[in-house]
Amino acid sequence: MSATTAPETPAPAKVPAVNRLGLAQAVYKGSPSTLCTGCGHDSITNQIIKAMFELDVEPHHVAKLSGIGCSSKTTAYFLGQSHGFNSVHGRMAAVATGVNLANSNLMAIGVSGDGDTASIGLGQFLHMVRRNVQICYIIENNGVYGLTKGQFSATADKGSLQKKGDSNEMFPIDCCALAIEMGCEFVARSFSGDYKQLCTLLKAGLSHRGTAMIDVVSPCITFNNHEGSTKSYKFAKDHEEALHEIGFVSSHEPITAEYEEGTTTKIELPDGAHIILKKLHRDYDPSDKANALELLAKARDERLFLTGLLYMGKGQAPMVEQKNLVDEPLATLPQSRVRPSPEVLAQVMESLK
Amino acid sequence: MESISNIKRIHWIYQLKIVKLILLSHNGKKPMSSSTLNQPEVAATGKKGSVVNDIVIQIATSNGSGSQSANNILLRSIFNMGVPVSGKNLFPSNIQGLPTWFTIRASKDGWTGARREIDVLIAMNVESVVDDIRDLRPGGMLILNSELKQYLTRTDVKAHIVPFNELVVQCCPEVKLRKLVTNMIYVGVAGFLLSMDIEEIKKSIDKQFKTKPKVADLNRNAVTVGYNWASEHLVNDHDYVIERDHKTEGKILIEGNMATALGALYGGVTVVAWYPITPSSSVCENLIELLRHYRHDPDGKATYAVLQAEDEIASIGFVVGAGWTGARAMTATSGPGISLMSEFAGLSYFAEIPAVIVDVQRMGPSTGLPTRTCQGDIMKAYYLSHGDCKHIVLIPGSVQECYEFAMESLNLAERFQTLVLMLSDLDLGMNNWMSDPFKPPTKDMDRGKVLTAEDLDKVKQFGRYADVDGDGIPYRTLPGTKHPKAAFFTRGTGHTAAATYSEKAEDWKVNMDRLAKKFATARGMVPAPVIEHQGKGDVGIIAYGSSDVAVKESLSQMKAEKGLEATYLRIRALPTCDAIRDFITSKRVTYLVEQNRDAQMASILRAEYPELAAKLVSVLHYDGMPIEARTISDHILKFEKKA
Ligand SMILES: Cc1ncc(C[n+]2csc(CCOP(=O)(O)OP(=O)(O)O)c2C)c(N)n1
Ligand code: SF4
Ligand SMILES: [Mg+2]
C-alpha cells in the first residue's frame, strides 16, 4: 500500500456497476477531499462510499453528522446527495441524539476524530452510547489533533512522540473498551488501510439497530506517521492482529454464500441481515463481553490492536424505540397532531380557577 | 443567625448611571411605612380603622416542613373570596431545615407585585423568629407559636400566642403527620383573625385534595381546630380584614413556569431537552405532565419526545440536532446553563437552525443564589456566543405572556431559522400570579420557509443561504426530503449562498450582511412594545419582564403622592424597534427600570440609539428580591425633586 495515495478498492467482479436502486457508486461520492494526500481518513471515506453503495442506501435517507477536525470534515466528501451537518467540536453525539428524536427513519452516520470523541467529546460520546442512539459512529483515530497541527489527543499512546519531540506519558483512552462498558452492542475496530475488513464492518455497523461504533486506526501522515508513533502506517501494519475475517451478507443476497459449517459463527442482525465471522486463529466469541474487555486490556499492554468485531450484544432497544414515538417523524407532524384542542385548554384553565 | 439576617436584610441601592448619584437608602433597615398605604377605611365586617383587603401576610417556616400546601390553601381562599392576591415563595437552596418565607399580598387594587411592609406575620420558625418579629410593621399583627414566645420583645405589635403543639395533638393522632397538620392549624387561626369565611377555606382544601379525601378530611379538621380555638381564646380586633369582593371572578392563579409549559404545549413542541436547574426545572416538569396527558395518540404512542440531558451543552445539542431535522425543539434552563450553551447558540445563529431556549433567570454563577430572582441575563442572551451574534429575545411581563411567548418563540425560531431566547425570571416563573384565563391560539403554527420535494420541482435551483425574498431569510429543506436538489451541507465555517465551503472574504461578508438584514426583518415581527400607561407629563418610564406590576403600582403611587403622571412603555422583545426610539425622543427624561446592577437593557438601548443615551436614567434593583413599587417611586420622585 502506498502512503501517498488512497486508491479506491477495485470492485469485485460480482458487484454490478449499479446497485439494486440502479445507482452507480459515483452517486455516493461527495465533494473532493481537501485533506492531505494520503491521509488515512480519505481511505475510510472511500469505504463508506462503497459500503453505502453496496447496501443500496437511498442517499436522501441518510443524515451525515460530524464534530470538528480533519476527520469530521470528511462527511462532505461522501454522499453529496444527503443532508450533512458538520456541527460543534465534541458535540456531534448530542446533535445525533436530537436528529434521532426528530426523525427516527433517517439513517444516521457519524464521523468523528479521536480528539473529537475521546478528548472534548468523551462525556457526550458515552452518554450517546448509554442511550443507544441509532447511529453508526465512526472514530477516525490517529492519536493526534490533525486540524490543529499535531497536539496529542487522549488516544495518543504512552511513549509516543510529537513531531517536536515531546513524549506522551499518559495511557491512551480506549474508546472500544469504554463503549463496551457503557453497553454498546456493536463495537468494532479496524484499520483505514484494510479495505476489505473496514467495508464489511461498515456495512454491518450501518445495519445495526442502536449505536454501532467503529474505531478505525487512521494514520495522520502529516503529524503522526513517524517512528515512535503507534498510529503510523508502519506501526499499524506490523502490529495489527485481526480477530477474524468477516463476511457481511445483507438480507437480499443468499445467506449461505460464505457460510461454512464448523468454521463460522453466524450472527443475526436485528434488521434481518446477517454477519458471518470467520475465525482465524482463536475461537472468538463476540458475544462474550468480559472476554472482549480482557483481550482489549491485554492488547493494550502488548501494544497491538485487535481488529474485527470485538463485541456484539443483542436485544437492547434503541433510544427512540424506548420512547414509544408515533411512526411518522416528529419533525413533520402537522398542527392537528401536536396542538391539543381548545377544550383541553379550557379544562386546564378551569382547574386553575 | 448571621447569614439569615443577611438574607432578610433589605438593601435598596439606586444607581444612577448618568448623574452618578448613588443613594443608599434606609441603611439596611426597613423603610417607615408610607402613609398612603393601608389607608384605613370602614369595613362592613370590621370597624372604623380596619385595613381591608390590602394586607401583606408573611408566613415564616422552615424548608421541608410541608408548609407549601397550607400556604397555598390560605392564598386560594383569599382568591376565592374575590380578593386579588399573589403568593411569593422565598426559599433557601436547601431541601430541609433552612428558613423559608411565603408572602401573600392581598390587594383590592390588584397590586400583586412585591411590598415589603409585613402587616401580618405567622412566626413558626425558631431559626428566623428574631428577625421576623423585628421586620413586622408597627401596629402589625403577630401569630406566634407559643414555643417561641420568649422571643417576643416588641410591644408595638399585636401578638396572638397560639399553642400549636398542643392543638395538633387534638386533631392528629399520628405523630408523623403532626408537623404537616400544624401548618393547617395556623391557616385556621389566621382565617379567624382576618375575619375570613371558614367555608371558603374548606372549599379550597377540598379542591386541592380532590383525589385524596382522607387528606382533605384531616386538613379540614385541622383548620377547624385552629379556627375554633382562636374564636374561643383570641380577640379579633378587626385591624386587618379580608372581606368578600368580586375582583377575581373568572380569573386563574398560575405560576409562570406552568404558563410557559402550556405555551410550549400549544406551540406544538415536539422535542424537549433539559437539565434540571432552579428556577427553570418546573417548566419542563410541568410540560412533561401536560405532554403525558394530552399528546399521546389513542394507541398510546407519543407525538413528542422529552430527554433529560447529561448537561446543558447536550440539551442545546439535542435541540439544534432536532431543529435541523425539522422538529419544533426547545430547552429550559437558567444562567449557568446559558453559559454552557453559548457555542451552540452561535452555531444556531450562523448555520441558521431553529432553536428555543427558555431562560428563567436567577442570580450569579455556580450556585449563586439559585432561589432569588433577577434580570441579569439580558445582555448575555442578546449577544450570546462569539463573533457577531445577536438573537431574538422575548421577555414576557406576565404569566399570560409566558404562555403566549413560549408559543411565539417556536414560531419565530422556525420563521427566522435561528435561536430564540425567552427570558422569564424566578419571580415570574415560580410564584403564583393572578391572570385572565388563557385563550387558545388564534394563529396557526408558523413552520417557516421549508421546501418540500414538490416545491423543489418548481424551483430552478435551491441555494440554502440565498436571499430569495429580500428579507434575509433563506429557504431550507429537511433531511429525508426525496429530491435530487434537496441536500445541502450545514457547517459553522464560511459558506456561500449555495451552502458550499468558502473562506473567501467577500463570501463571509455577504453572508454576515444578509444575517443582519434578517435580523432587521425580525425587528418588525417580534412582539412590539406596549404603552401600558399614558401619562400627561414629559416623564417616561421603560421597564420589562416581571417589573411590570411594580411599575404600574408605582405610577399610581407617584400620582397619588406627588401628582407625577409618567407614561410607561414596556419592552417585550429584542431587537428593539422605532417605537422605543420615538418614545425616548418624545420625553424629557426616561427612567429605565431593571432588576440588575449593570443597567443591561440601558446599555443595549444606548448602543442602538447613542444619540438618546443622555435621556436615559436607570432605576436599578438587584438584591435578589422581586422589585417593589416603593423602590421605583422613591427613586423617580427623588430625581424629579419631588421627594
Ligand atoms: C470548542 C473548540 N475547541 C477547540 C477547537 C479547535 N480544534 C479543532 S479540531 C481540533 C482537534 C481535532 O482532533 P481530532 O478530533 O482527533 O480530529 P483530526 O483532525 O485528528 O482528524 C481542535 C482542538 C474547536 N474547533 N472548538
Ligand atoms: S493533518 Fe493529518 S489528519 Fe489532517 S488531513 Fe492531514 S494527514 Fe489527515
Ligand atoms: Mg485525531
Q: How far apart are CA A243 and CA A14, in angstroms?
A: 26
In a domain, A228, yes or no: yes
Q: For residues B112 and B319, what is the distance between their CA atoms, to the nearest angstrom?
A: 36
Is residue B112 exposed (0-12), middle (13-18) or buried (19+ Cβ within 10 Å)? Answer: buried
Residue A6 lies inside a defined structural domain of this protein: no
B410 and B352 fall within a common domain: yes
Place of cell 399585636: B158
A338 contacts B325? CB cut-off 8 A = no
Size of the A and B interface in Cβ pairs below 8 Å: 224
Chain B residues with beta carbon closer than 8 angstroms to that of A70: none
- Domain identity same for B518 and B555: no
Tally of structural domains, chain B: 4
Q: Which amino acid is at B374?
A: C
- Residue owning grid cell 434537496: B486
* Contact residues on chain B for A85, CB-CB shorter than 8 A: 321, 324, 489-491
> Is residue B604 in some structural domain?
yes
| Ligand 2 near A306 CB (within 6 A) | no
- Residue B23 within any structural domain of the chain: no
Query: What is the torsional sign of CA B448, B452, B456, B462?
Result: positive
Of B482, B506, B523, at which residue does a domain stop?
Answer: B523
C-alpha torsion angle, residues A122, A123, A127, A129 (rounded to 10): 10
Judged by a CB distance cut-off of 8 A, whether residue A85 touches chain B is yes
Residue B291 lies in a domain: yes
pLDDT of residue A325: 97
The CA distance from B328 to the nearest CA of chain A, in Å, is 7
Which candidate, A65, A69, A70, places its Cα nearest to that of A85? Answer: A65
Mean pLDDT (whole number) for B5-11:
37
- A77 within ligand 2 shell (Cβ under 6 A): no
Separation between Cα atoms, residue B458 and residue B596, nearest integer Å? 52
pLDDT per position as a tens digit, B499-518: 999 999 999 999 999 999 99
Which residues in chain A touch residue B492, judged by CB atoms under 8 angstroms apart? 68, 86-88
SS (H, E, C) B519-570: HHHHHCCCCCCEEEECCCCCEEEEEEHHHHHHHHHHHHHHHHHHCCCCEEEE
User: Cell 399614558 identifies what position?
Assistant: B534
C-alpha cell at B635: 427613586
Q: Is residue A300 part of a domain?
A: yes
* A39 and A172 part of one domain: yes
- CATH, residue A308: 3.40.50.970
**Quick one: pLDDT band at residue B31, thresholds 50, 70, 90?**
very low
Whether residue A214 is found in the same domain as residue A72: yes
User: Nearest CA to CA, how far is B510 from chain A (Å)?
Assistant: 21
Q: How far is the CA of A4 from the centre of ligand 3 (A)?
A: 18
Quick one: DSSP state of residue B615?
Answer: G
Kindly report the CATH number assigned to the domain that includes residue B336: 3.40.50.970
Chain B closest-CA separation from residue A335 CA (Å): 7
B487/A327 touch (CB, cutoff 8 Å), yes or no: no
Task: Count each helix (H run) and each strand (E run) in chain A, helices first.
Answer: 12, 13
* Per-residue model confidence (pLDDT) at position A13: 56
Q: Which residues of B touch A76 (CB under 8 A)?
A: 489, 491, 501
Q: Which of B252, B300, B302 sits opposite A349 (nearest CB)?
A: B252
| Residues A153 and A294 placed together within one structural domain of the fold | yes
- pLDDT band, residue A162 (cuts 50/70/90): confident
- Ligand 1 contacts CB of residue A143 (under 6 A): no
Q: What is the pLDDT of residues B553-573, one digit of tens each?
A: 999 999 999 999 999 999 999
Amino acid symbol at A69: G
Whether A131 and A180 share a structural domain:
yes
Q: Which atom of ligand 1 is nearest to the CA of B343?
A: 1
Chain A environment of B345 (Cβ under 8 Å): none
The single-letter code of the amino acid at B492 is G
Dihedral Cα A267, A268, A270, A271, nearest 10 deg? 120
Task: Examine the domain organization and report whether A51 and A171 are in the same domain.
Answer: yes
Please say if the pLDDT value at position A302 is more than 90.
no
Do the domain assignments include residue A190? yes
Instruction: Give the Å distance between the CA of B178 and the centre of ligand 2.
Output: 70
The verdict on A142 touching B (C-beta cutoff 8 Å) is no
Q: What residues 232-271 of chain B have any CB closer than 8 A to a CB of chain A?
A: 250-254, 262, 265-271
- C-alpha closest to that of A207 among A328, A99, A312: A312
A121 lines ligand 1 (CB under 6 A): no
Shortest-distance ligand to the CA of residue A4: 2
| Same domain as B538, residue B504 | no
Secondary structure (H, E, C), B164-197? HHHHHHHHCCCHHHHHHHHHHHHHHHHHHHCCCC
User: Atom 26 of ligand 1 has which residue's CA nearest to it?
Assistant: A89
* Distance (Å, whole) CA B151 – CA B121: 14
Same domain, A95 and A155: yes
Domain hosting A268: range is: 253-280
End position of a domain, from candidates A261, A280, A299: A280
Query: Among partner residues A59, A65, A88, which is closest to B343 by beta-carbon distance?
Result: A88
Q: Kindly state the average pLDDT of the residues A54-62.
A: 97
Residues 6 or more apart whose CB falls under 8 angstroms from that of B85 comprise B75, B78, B79, B104, B105, B106, B107, B112, B248, B253, B434
Last residue of a domain, one of B214, B241, B268: B241
Cβ atoms within 10 Å of B516's Cβ, excluding its own: 13
Note the pLDDT of residue A283.
63
**Residue A246 Cβ contacting ligand 2 at under 6 Å:** no
- What does the pLDDT average to over A304-320? 87
Q: Tell me, yes or no, whether B180 and B40 share the same domain.
A: yes
Q: Quick one: average pLDDT of B386-405?
A: 97
Residues A46 and A182 in one domain: yes
How far is Cα A263 from Cα B466, in angstroms, rounded to an integer? 58
CA distance B410 to chain A (A): 13
Q: How far is the CA of A140 from the centre of ligand 2 (A)?
A: 11
Question: Are residues A129 and A259 located together in one domain of the fold?
Answer: no
| Confidence tier at A324 by pLDDT (50, 70, 90) | very high
Which strands sit side by side in the sheet containing B355-361, from one edge to the other?
B305-308, B271-274, B329-333, B355-361, B419-425, B392-394, B573-574
Contact A59 B303 (CB under 8 A): no
User: What distance in Å separates residue A61's CA from the closest CA in chain B?
Assistant: 5
Does residue A75 lie in a domain region? yes
Q: Does residue B230 share a domain with residue B91?
A: yes
A81 CB neighbours in chain B (<8 A) are 484, 487
Task: Give percent above pLDDT 90 in chain B.
Answer: 85
The crossing angle, in degrees rounded to 10, of helices B578-586 and B600-608 is 100
Shortest distance between the Cα of A129 and any Cα of chain B, in A, equals 12
Mean pLDDT for chain A overall: 84
Whether residue A219 sits in one domain with residue A117: yes
> Cell 437558567, residue?
B334
How far apart, in whole angstroms, are the C-alpha atoms of residue B427 and residue B424? 8
The model's pLDDT over B360-386, given as tens digits with 9 standing for 90+, comes to: 999 988 887 888 999 999 999 999 999
Contact check, Cβ <8 Å, A335/B302: no
Kindly report the backbone phi and psi dihedral angles of residue B24, in degrees, each rounded to the nearest multiple of 5, phi listed first: -100, 100
C-alpha cell read off for B344:
451552540
Asked if B438's CB is within 8 angstroms of A331's CB, the reply is no
Q: Considering only B18-32, B226-240, B260-274, B346-360, which range has the smallest mean pLDDT?
A: B18-32
Pocket of ligand 2, candidates A46, A221, A231: which has the most ligand atoms within 8 Å of its Cβ, to mutate? Answer: A221
**Beta carbons of B321 and A94 less than 8 Å apart:** yes
Task: Work out the angle at residue A106's Cα, subtended by the Cα atoms of residues A101 and A108, and round it to the nearest 5 degrees.
Answer: 85
For residue A6 and ligand 2, the question of a CB distance below 6 A is answered with no
Judge if A271 and A143 occupy the same domain. Answer: no
Is residue B122 a contact partner of residue B58, using CB atoms and an 8 Å limit? Answer: yes
Domain's final residue, options B523, B551, B569: B523
Q: Is residue B47 part of a domain?
A: yes
* Ligand 3 centroid distance, CA of B312 (Å): 25
Given this model, what pLDDT does residue A6 score? 46
CA of B369 to the centre of ligand 2 (A): 47
Residue B506 resides in a domain: yes
* pLDDT, tens digit, 9 for 90 and up, residues A269-292: 334 444 343 433 456 788 889 989
Instruction: Indicate if B493 and B553 belong to the same structural domain.
Output: no
Mean pLDDT throughout B406-431? 98
Q: How confident is the model at residue A300 (pLDDT cuts 50, 70, 90)?
A: confident
Closest C-alpha to ligand 2, atom 2? A220
Residue nearest to atom 6 of ligand 2 (CA): A36
| B231: its cell numbers | 374564636
Question: Which has the higher per-residue pLDDT, B554 or A167?
Answer: B554
Helices (H), B280-341: 281-294, 312-325, 335-340
Which residues of chain B are within 8 Å of residue A98 when distances are taken between CB atoms?
Answer: 271, 273, 317-325, 327, 329
B209-238 per-position pLDDT tens digit: 999 999 999 999 999 999 999 999 999 999
Q: Within a domain: residue A348?
A: no
Per the structure, the complete domain to which residue B403 belongs is given by 254-435
ipTM summary value: 0.90
C-alpha cell at position B489? 451541507
Q: In sequence order, what E strands does B180-318 have?
A: 240-241, 252-255, 271-274, 305-308
Q: Which residues share a beta bridge with B120?
A: B57, B141
CATH of the domain at B553: 3.40.50.920
| pLDDT on residue B7 | 38
pLDDT at A168: 85
Is A342 within the bounds of a domain?
Answer: no
CA distances from residue B231 to B162, B220, B426 in whole angstroms, order as listed: 12, 16, 38
Kindly report the protein residue whose alpha carbon is nearest to atom 3 of ligand 1: A89
Pair (A99, A185) in one structural domain: yes
Note whether B117 and B183 are same-domain residues: yes
CA nearest neighbour of A65 among B475, B385, B324: B324
Query: Are B501 and B386 found together in one domain?
Result: no
Contact B633, B558 (CB under 8 A): yes
**Ligand 1 center–CA A140 separation, angstroms:** 12
Asked whether residue A15 is domain-assigned, the answer is no
Looking at beta carbons, which residues of chain B come within 8 Å of A99? Answer: 321-322, 324-325, 479
Q: Do B479 and A63 touch (CB under 8 A)?
A: yes
| Residue of the CA atom closest to atom 5 of ligand 2 | A35
A223-232, B121-130, B326-335: least confident range = A223-232
Question: CB-CB: which of B303, B479, B488 is closest to A330?
Answer: B303
Which has the higher per-residue pLDDT, A217 or B434?
A: B434
Beta-carbon separation of A98 and B501 below 8 A: no
pLDDT at B45 (0 to 100): 53
Domain count, chain A: 2
What pLDDT was estimated at residue A12? 56
Per DSSP (E only), the strands in chain A are: 62-66, 83-86, 107-113, 135-141, 144-145, 151-152, 186-191, 211-217, 240-242, 244-249, 264-268, 274-279, 305-312
Looking at the domain assignment, is residue B305 inside a domain? Answer: yes
B423 SS3 class: strand
Is A148 near ligand 1, meaning CB less than 6 Å away? yes
Q: Is A284 in the pocket of ligand 1 (CB under 6 A)?
A: no
Shared domain check, A217 and A287: yes
Q: In one letter, which amino acid is B90?
A: L
Decide if B502 touches A, using CB distance below 8 A: no
Contact indicator for B266, B407 with CB cutoff of 8 Å: yes
Residue A246 is predicted with a pLDDT of 57
Partner A, chain B 3-62, Cβ-Cβ below 8 Å: none
